Chains A and B, each alone.
Chain A
Amino acid sequence: MRNGPGTADLQRWSEEVARDPGSPSFLPLAEAYRRMGKTQAALRLCLRGLERCPGSVDGHLLLARIYLELGERERAADEWAITARLDPDNFDAHRGLGFFHLERGEYASAGRHLERAALVRPGDPAVQEALAVLRRHLARSGAASQTAATANGSEAPVPPPPEARNGAGSSAPAAAAGRAETAAQPGATTQPPAAAAERGEEVAQPPAPPAAAESVETAPQAAAAAQPAAGAATKAERSPAEAAKVPGAGGRDPARVFEPLSREAPFLGALLLDGRGLILAGSVRAGGTTRSEALGAAVGPAAEEAARTAALLSIGRWRGILIETDRALLHVSPLEEDLLLLVATECGTPVGWVLRTAERAAELARRFLAEGVV
């Protein structure tokens, strides 16, 4: 019985990678580091290896797995998407993407990838279970919720995938997310469990028993309430109707919340956004045109990317982003829970003024939110 690579293997791979970072040895070496818990070292090796070998399917799959372990789901999904482009019938990529979209409440995409995974490997129980959950939910939510979701420009909320639901009762969201990620890891089921266990490697969690899945599926909001800080899962579970409750409903025009700031010349507008980039209040005009929707759509991904970068660079949680473009100066800051505040000013506005204005806009936004609390 072999318990993984020996010192001689590691030394040989290290030497080969040192000579040529694109050597095929970057894969077993990165995998060995990952198993030893040296995730950052594994990440570096993988990134460097893929710079030289961007067509390596196994490299992208391993990178996806590393990102999952780092809690970087969107990046993991990027890697699965690349894998699926390189190898359109790759089971692991479609399964990973299927669970990723399911967890985010993106039904259509989830269904597409899960169906594809099921075609490649018809007997996979996790995929079958996820498809069953998806079908049951679609049937149950019916036309009303679909219509509401379409009207809001997004897909309807969805219960988390079976793996995520295994952790629904946990008071530690990160731990629950970790379990979900382990189960969704493409590499985790590519080898026979016994062989994997023999090497001391983690094995995919089995899907939740139908009874457990059913009980949580009927109460996604309760599951969300059990994990108030569950990040992406909480975002996905908040329905458009709930999101609509967030802003002040006291009869004020949400678009005019930041109007007190508009008397100052460089101010182009401000937006209060939810975690999905949907506008809760405010507006931005530039060059005589309303830019609110486009900015709302742009800011969310930029903030997510910034948060990921800050975490991976170990420089603490992000507090604000200043973006200078050819036509505007934007400041983005986190407000409450997953809300974002964007302030837009004219290009060339003094940065200190922008930061002060952002603070004043935050006060107006908080006042607006407080008015909406019944």
Chain B
Amino acid sequence: MSDTVASTLDRLSHVPGVRSAMIVDAEAGVPVASELGTGASATAVAALTASLFRRTDEAVRQAALGGLGSFQLETEDGHLVVAGRRELIVVVVADRDAQLGLIRLEVDRAVEALQ
């Protein structure tokens, strides 16, 4: 794991309310690095979120809205934030009452750092 990836992941995983943070290879759908909470499987989360990101990216491109920058899913129990521009995407699973503003800011920083 490179220093950039390690420090990015460390920073993300220490944001209050963040349950899991991962850096994922968007094309292969495999985890590059992860800090996962209990019960989560890095492989499954990486595969699912990469697929979600790719498909949404294809869909918005077909709608002539440009490339996908980020995708934020709000659910009953939490939030899934996925963002990226190139091969690597940043994935964060956060608690329902987490400070989303702070998380989004850190995710944006992480994406920039990984460019």
The 0/1 profile, CB within 8 Å of A marked 1, for residues 54-67 of chain B is 01100110111111
The 0/1 profile, CB within 8 Å of B marked 1, for residues 211-228 of chain A is 000000000000000000
Minimum C-beta distance from A292 to chain B (A): 10
| A305, B65: Cβ atoms closer than 8 Å | no
**How many chain B residues touch the partner (CB < 8 A)?**
38
Minimum C-beta distance from B25 to chain A (A): 10
With known contacts A44-B44, A306-B52, A312-B44, A321–B59 Cβ distance under 8 A: no
With known contacts A51-B30, A315-B93, A326–B69 Cβ distance under 8 A: yes
Contact segment of A124-132, A158-166, A294-302, A359-367: A294-302
| A322, B28: Cβ atoms closer than 8 Å | no
Closest to A294 in B: B63
Q: Does A324 contact B (CB under 8 A)?
A: yes
- Pick the contact of A317: B28, B39, B76 (CB < 8 A): B76
With known contacts A43-B44, A306-B52, A321–B76 Cβ distance under 8 A: no
CB neighbours of B70 from chain A (8 A): 322-324
Bound-state CA distance A40–B45 (Å) is 12
- Pick the contact of A310: B47, B65, B69, B75 (CB < 8 A): B75
CB neighbours of A319 from chain B (8 A): 74-76
Give the residues from 289 to 342 in chain A that come closer than 8 angstroms, CB to CB, to chain B: 289, 291, 294-295, 297-299, 301-302, 305-306, 308-310, 312-328, 330
Q: Does A48 contact B (CB under 8 A)?
A: yes
**How many chain A residues touch the partner (CB < 8 A)?**
41
Closest to A326 in B: B66
| B60, A315: Cβ atoms closer than 8 Å | no
CB neighbours of B40 from chain A (8 A): 313
| A325, B60: Cβ atoms closer than 8 Å | yes
- Pick the contact of A323: B56, B93, B104 (CB < 8 A): B56
Minimum C-beta distance from A268 to chain B (A): 10
Q: Name the residue among A312, A313, A324 with the largest chain B CB count within 10 angstroms.
A: A313
CB neighbours of A324 from chain B (8 A): 68-71
- Pick the contact of A316: B41, B67, B77 (CB < 8 A): B77
| B74, A305: Cβ atoms closer than 8 Å | no
| A325, B67: Cβ atoms closer than 8 Å | yes
Minimum C-beta distance from A320 to chain B (A): 4
- Pick the contact of B44: A47, A299, A302, A321 (CB < 8 A): A47
Minimum C-beta distance from B77 to chain A (A): 4
Bound-state CA distance A287–B63 (Å) is 12
| A309, B80: Cβ atoms closer than 8 Å | yes
| B59, A301: Cβ atoms closer than 8 Å | yes
CB neighbours of A315 from chain B (8 A): 75-78, 80, 93
Interface residues of A (CB under 8 A from B): 40, 43-44, 47-48, 51, 286-287, 289, 291, 294-295, 297-299, 301-302, 305-306, 308-310, 312-328, 330, 351
Taking A324-B69, A327-B64 as known contacts, 12 extra A-B pairs with beta carbons closer than 8 A to each other, sorted by chain A number, are A51-B47, A286-B65, A295-B65, A297-B59, A313-B93, A315-B93, A316-B75, A322-B72, A323-B71, A324-B70, A325-B65, A326-B69
Interface residues of B (CB under 8 A from A): 28-30, 39-41, 43-45, 47-49, 51-52, 55-56, 59-60, 62-78, 80, 93, 104
18 CB-based A-B contacts, threshold 8 Å: A44-B43, A47-B43, A47-B44, A51-B30, A51-B47, A286-B64, A291-B63, A294-B64, A298-B63, A301-B55, A302-B55, A308-B48, A309-B48, A309-B52, A310-B73, A322-B70, A322-B72, A323-B60
